[in-house]
Amino acid sequence: MKRNHENSQDVFANAKKVIPGGVNSPVRAFKSVGINPIVIESGKGSIIKDIDGNEYVDFVSSWGPLILGHANNAILEAIQETAQKGTSFGAPTILETKMAELIVEMVPSIEKVRMVNSGTEATMSALRLARGYTKRECIVKFKGNYHGHADSFLIKAGSGAITLGLPDSPGVTSATAQDTLVADYNNLQSVERLFKEHGSQIAAIIVEPVAANMGVVPPQKGFLEGLRKLADGYGSLLIFDEVITGFRLAKGGAQEYFGVIPDLTTLGKIIGGGLPVGAYGGKREIMDMLAPDGPVYQAGTLSGNPLAMAAGLAMLKILNETPYFYEELESNAARLETGLRANLDKTGIKGIVNRVGSLLTLFFTKKTQVTSFDEAMESDIEQYAHYFRESLDNGIYLAPSQFEAMFISNAHSYEDIDTCIEVSLAAMKTMLR
């Protein structure tokens, strides 16, 4: 039975009058799935509720950060307690040092870390730092990787940019575009070619160690290691954008999971436990180039904001101290993967399930693998849109795009996973009609 979304429709119609597209980030617009967005009222654990009273098991998890689910008690308590003492000072607090100490302890490559307010700020600042440190101007990025919306990264960008068919945004100057060299994910030769031609001008390679903004595409064996070698060989820096993988694949993120150590790491929303945060960190020698110690300038009134630090700290402590946290997450995610694969087999619908840890994408595709941007782009987005709508109607909230990830949290119970598998099977059956 179709769910009633009347209130959501009304609110969205009003939003469109005063907010561009009715949303504050394009990925929320549901444009590629052919319906209007639902408007959320609340969330607890794995469940979100819309303003029409419909409940959904949420697999978007605020695009990643909610690895403990919605409204986690420890995080709420930390925010409430801290808020009583004031919400922003634009001056040092103990919380930000505690947070930095914990990040340094958990993430293998980070010796010093600077807090910012979003993943976009983290990647654009890390890039400036890499350029300042190496005194070079070009960067290598990968087609379909998404590093936020700073100009340099909106060249062949993933996430909402591909969902909406806008991989190269107007407004990015041709000079910026010239400094951004684009390679193919999982194709070391394409990177080698760029280095052979421009090696002495390349400040850094920036990469999502697991591509998660063109759907989930794991790095193939040797890919990350190969990037490390190339960067070392040419005196460039290797930047891991761990906005999605950080603290999600392991305590130490993808760099711990795959055993490849970058020079700089960018972190995002996950370290705010749901509040707006980002950070970038790395080798001491590089980080010391930042003002006030060094000449590379970057600043922010709300950076290290006490509420965000309190929330993030509460969350990271749980991740750091809970025995078998990542093992349990893995087992839940593996259960989902197995169930979705079985659904494809049962229905004969062509698809590929890619999963790394608690990140997963079901691609509707006739391909036998999805290991690259080009393969991801061959997915049937109409089929995904249909599957999305059926899932939503039956209480499963998925990303409104084929080219995003499902995020499994420790708030998802086996029951939630099994419900998702059941709804998925029913949705696939309707695709056969």
Q: Which is nearer to ligand HOZ, 63 or 247 (CB)?
A: 63
Q: Which of residues 210-249 bind ligand HOZ (CB under 6 A)?
A: 213
Taking the complex as a whole, the smallest distance from the CB of residue 73 to ligand HOZ amounts, in Å, to 26
**Which of 31, 112, 156, 269 is an active site residue?**
269
Question: Is 45 a residue that touches ligand HOZ (CB under 6 A)?
Answer: no
Which amino acid, 244? I
- Respond yes or no: is residue 146 known to be catalytic: yes
Tally of CB atoms within 10 A around 306: 20
Question: Is 25 a residue that touches ligand HOZ (CB under 6 A)?
Answer: yes
Q: Which of residues 51-70 bind ligand HOZ (CB under 6 A)?
A: 63
Q: Which is nearer to ligand HOZ, 267 or 286 (CB)?
A: 267
Q: Which of residues 196-215 bind ligand HOZ (CB under 6 A)?
A: 213
Residue 222: closest CA among 184, 266, 260, 261: 260
Question: Is 120 a residue that touches ligand HOZ (CB under 6 A)?
Answer: no
Q: Which is nearer to ligand HOZ, 28 or 114 (CB)?
A: 28
- Respond yes or no: is residue 387 known to be catalytic: no
The Cβ-side half-sphere exposure at 414, using a 13 Å CA radius, reads 3
Taking the complex as a whole, the smallest distance from the CB of residue 385 to ligand HOZ amounts, in Å, to 17
Taking the complex as a whole, the smallest distance from the CB of residue 94 to ligand HOZ amounts, in Å, to 31
Q: Which is nearer to ligand HOZ, 209 or 226 (CB)?
A: 209
Taking the complex as a whole, the smallest distance from the CB of residue 415 to ligand HOZ amounts, in Å, to 27
Q: Which is nearer to ligand HOZ, 69 or 268 (CB)?
A: 268
Taking the complex as a whole, the smallest distance from the CB of residue 265 to ligand HOZ amounts, in Å, to 16
Beta-sheet pairing, 180-183 with 138-142 = parallel
User: Order of strands across the sheet with 396-397?
Assistant: 40-44, 47-50, 55-58, 396-397
Tally of CB atoms within 10 A around 331: 12
Q: Mask of contacts with ligand HOZ, 294-323, x by CB under 6 A?
A: ------------------------------
Total of residues contacting ligand HOZ (CB under 6 A):
8
Q: State which of residues 50, 208, 375, 404 lies at the interface with ligand HOZ (CB under 6 A).
A: 404
- Respond yes or no: is residue 384 known to be catalytic: no
Q: Which is nearer to ligand HOZ, 212 or 319 (CB)?
A: 212
**Which of 179, 241, 263, 393 is an active site residue?**
241
Report the C-alpha gap between 229 and 25 in whole angstroms: 36
Q: State which of residues 5, 12, 22, 27 lies at the interface with ligand HOZ (CB under 6 A).
A: 27
The Cβ-side half-sphere exposure at 221, using a 13 Å CA radius, reads 0
Q: Are 401 and 216 spatial neighbours (Cβ–Cβ below 8 Å)?
A: no
Which amino acid, 99? M
Q: Which is nearer to ligand HOZ, 160 or 226 (CB)?
A: 160
Q: What angle is formed at CA 21 by the lines to CA 212 and CA 117, rounded to 5 degrees?
A: 50
Taking the complex as a whole, the smallest distance from the CB of residue 64 to ligand HOZ amounts, in Å, to 7
Report the C-alpha gap between 244 and 25 in whole angstroms: 17
**Which of 133, 146, 234, 397 is an active site residue?**
146
Taking the complex as a whole, the smallest distance from the CB of residue 271 to ligand HOZ amounts, in Å, to 15
Q: Which of residues 138-177 bind ligand HOZ (CB under 6 A)?
A: 146, 159-160
Residue 354 bridge partners (DSSP): 361
CA 341 and chain centroid, separation = 24
Binding site for ligand HOZ (CB under 6 A): 25, 27, 63, 146, 159-160, 213, 404
Residues annotated as catalytic (active site), given as ranges: 146, 241, 269
